[in-house]
């Protein structure tokens, strides 16, 4: 499979399976089916509350000889409630226990936002950047890397300023920034900055994250897969709109992690690897009017929060 390369020559498969919103009862089959289809990369996080089921599916795949541990690439993420330096390794160990793995391929700081160690998915109980600086969390990530618990470390939802803070002061470089990317939010400057600094980029919500709960959506949210330009390019190549969006992400040398729990769509998305968009397609996509951010981060910036929206995004 096409891949992106890290500084040490390790490769990361350019296409992976997303698992946010994949229910525990569905994600087991989704992961197994994806691995049988040829996927070799799974994107996870403890906040998705399904890592135990992902772990069971991985065990089954190893047992049945579908893949070996070395053949797959598994990413997970440090949640906001474990940003203190001494909380990072225990959080990673819990994820490894749930995924039933000895090591991760990639571990990311999920958000540049710290919360107290309470039962979170609530946007509350924040710790300010003064109380827990990003660099403190990064030092915990470096420790996890040195202990061999993860082969690579990186960040997610980081803007250029946050990344610079780490890049200028770190001992081990962040090798990945996972951010929202699609034609309505191409983030060209951020990608250029990352690539110039040896940081690979992963595109999340590449299909427009249509299955988010109503509470997470604005009333006038656009539907990316129904976009006229995307639909016309799909028609021209006799492929689906989702395949256009996934191929577009890979064309830009960004890793892409579409989520699906549907067998047919998991296969369809995998087949995007064969799609070749031409220059005319790319120019048309570049003209799609944005920006629109689906996962907009407003939940971290409500009244009383030390985090402000203008500090979160470039
Ligand atoms: N780091 C971060 O902060 C974030 C990371 N992520 C990661 O990125 C992944 C992908 O993003 P996500 O927000 O889930 O959304 P996506 O943009 O991947 O969209 C998922 C939706 O698209 C549907 N879908 C999938 N394939 C097709 C297809 N071929 N045709 C039509 N519909 C399709 C899915 O339905 P169905 O399952 O029924 O097929 C689901 O409703 C996440 O799952 C997660 O792993 C996402 C958000 C934030
Ligand atoms: O990856 C993600 C999906 O789930 C979280 C919410 O529960 C988001 O905050 C995050 O960006």
Does the beta carbon of 211 lie inside 6 Å of ligand 2?
no
> Could you tell me the pLDDT band of residue 102, with boundaries at 50, 70 and 90?
very high
Strands, E, within the chain: which ranges?
3-5, 11-13, 17-18, 41-43, 73-78, 104-109, 114-115, 126-127, 150-156, 176-180, 200-204, 255-256
Please write the tens of the pLDDT for every residue from 23-82. Answer: 999 999 999 999 999 999 999 999 999 999 999 999 999 999 999 999 999 999 999 999
Q: Whose CA is nearest to atom 36 of ligand 1?
A: 260
Nearest bound ligand to CA 211? 1
Round the average pLDDT of the chain to a whole number and report it. 97
CATH architecture of the region 11-312: Alpha-Beta Barrel (3.20)
259 Cβ inside 6 Å of ligand 1? yes
Name the band, by pLDDT with cuts 50, 70 and 90, for residue 119: low
With the most atoms of ligand 1 within 8 angstroms of its CB, the residue from 207, 224, 240 to mutate is: 207
ipTM for this model: 0.98
Nearest-atom index, ligand 1, CA of 44: 45
Q: Please state the rounded mean pLDDT for residues 184-212.
A: 98
The Å distance, Cα 64 to ligand 2 centre, comes to 32
Q: Report the separation in Å between the CA atom of 206 and the middle of ligand 1, taken as the mean of its atom positions.
A: 7
- Nearest-atom index, ligand 1, CA of 22: 37
For the segment 94-109, the average pLDDT, to the nearest whole number, is: 98
110 is in an annotated binding site: yes
Q: How far is CA 83 from the centre of its chain?
A: 18
pLDDT more than 90, % of the chain: 95
pTM, 2 dp:
0.98
The residue ranges of every structural domain in the chain are 11-312
3-class DSSP state of 308 = coil
* Ligand 2 neighbour 295 (Cβ under 6 A): yes
Q: Is 70 exceeded by the pLDDT of residue 18?
A: yes
What is the structure's pLDDT at 120? 64
Q: Which of 28, 39, 48, 107 is catalytic?
A: 48
182 lines ligand 1 (CB under 6 A): no
pLDDT tens column, 231-269: 999 999 999 999 999 999 999 999 999 999 999 999 999
39 is known as an active-site residue: no
Bridge partners for 200 per DSSP: 176
What distance in Å separates the CA atoms of residue 35 and residue 20, rounded to the nearest whole number? 17
Distance CA 237, CA 270 (A): 16
Q: pLDDT digit string (tens) for 272-311?
A: 999 999 999 999 999 999 999 999 999 999 888 999 999 9
């Amino acid at each position: 499979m096409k891949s992106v390369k890290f500084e040490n020559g390790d490769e990361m498969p350019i296409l992976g399976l997303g698992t946010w919103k994949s229910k525990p009862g569905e994600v087991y089959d989704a992961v197994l089916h994806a691995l049988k289809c040829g996927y070799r990369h799974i994107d996870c996080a403890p906040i998705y509350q399904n890592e135990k089921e992902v772990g069971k599916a991985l065990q089954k795949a190893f047992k049945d000889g579908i893949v070996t541990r070395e053949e797959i690439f598994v990413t997970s993420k440090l949640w906001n409630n474990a940003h203190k330096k001494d909380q990072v390794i225990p959080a990673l160990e819990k994820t490894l226990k749930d995924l039933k793995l000895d090591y991760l391929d990639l571990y990311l700081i999920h958000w540049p936002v710290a919360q107290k160690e309470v039962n979170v998915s609530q946007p509350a109980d924040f710790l300010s950047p003064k109380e827990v600086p990003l660099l403190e969390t990064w030092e915990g990530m470096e420790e996890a890397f040195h202990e061999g618990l993860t082969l690579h470390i990186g960040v997610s939802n980081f803007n250029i300023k946050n990344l610079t803070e780490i890049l200028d002061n770190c001992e081990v470089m962040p090798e990945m920034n996972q951010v929202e990317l699609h034609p309505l939010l191409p983030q060209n400057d951020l990608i250029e900055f990352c690539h110039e600094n040896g940081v690979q980029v992963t595109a999340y919500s590449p299909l427009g994250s249509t299955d988010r709960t109503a509470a997470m959506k604005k009333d006038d949210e656009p539907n990316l897969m129904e976009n006229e330009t995307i639909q016309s390019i799909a028609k021209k190549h006799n492929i689906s709109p989702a395949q256009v969006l996934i191929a577009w992400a890979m064309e830009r040398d960004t890793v892409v992690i579409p989520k699906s729990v549907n067998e047919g769509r998991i296969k369809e998305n995998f087949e995007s690897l064969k799609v070749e968009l031409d220059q005319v397609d790319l120019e048309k996509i570049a003209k799609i009017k944005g920006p629109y951010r689906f996962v907009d981060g407003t939940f971290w910036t409500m009244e009383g929060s030390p985090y402000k929206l203008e500090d979160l995004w470039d």
